[in-house]
Amino acid sequence: MAESNRTDFQPAAVVERLNRHGVKYIVIGGLAAALRGSPTITLDVDICYERARDNLERLASSLTEAHAQLRGAPSSLPFRLDAQSLLLGDHFTLETDDGPLDILATPSGTQGYADLAANADEVEAFGETFLLAGLEDLIRMKRAAGRPKDRIELEILGALREEIDRLR
């Protein structure tokens, strides 16, 4: 895998690969916010994944195919990308052939996949169909994360929610 310079962001390729492997996931984070109408630019894909063993195996296969490596970790750090490693961890920040990918089992402020799936919408984008986190859940995750960039995005998502409500 070539060294990433954050210009290789290819969300369509990420979604296509996950779908082709049959991974159960929900797009969250900045990409989900952008697909919901936020003008904020993002350069990575964030997903919440289901922790069932067969899904972890499909996710590991997808990540292996994408030559995923831990982002920011020394190359000498031993890391096996398999279902067991995914089961033992929760959040992984990865660099892949398709750009940065963050995978989270339990995003801040949530109980994980089933919690988010309850309010997610099936959408079509990038020529693919996938689950997209609901606006209220995006707000909940940003509020719980509480980083400065999340607080800024909270203002944007709140204004987006008001505009949607106004148009109803």
Residue 34 belongs to domain with CATH number: 3.30.460.40
Tell whether 155 is covered by a domain: no
Tell whether 156 is covered by a domain: no
Tell whether 114 is covered by a domain: yes
Report residue 78's pLDDT band, with 50, 70 and 90 as the boundaries.
confident
Tell whether 86 is covered by a domain: yes
What residues are paired with 16 via a beta bridge? none
Number of structural domains the chain divides into: 1
Range of the domain at 61: 11-134
pTM over 0.85: yes
- DSSP letter at 84? H
Tell whether 6 is covered by a domain: no
pLDDT digits (tens, 9 = 90+) for 150-167: 999 999 999 999 999 999
| pLDDT number for residue 115 | 98
CA distances from 33 to 65, 119, 134, 160 (A): 27, 14, 9, 10
Tell whether 149 is covered by a domain: no
Tell whether 27 is covered by a domain: yes
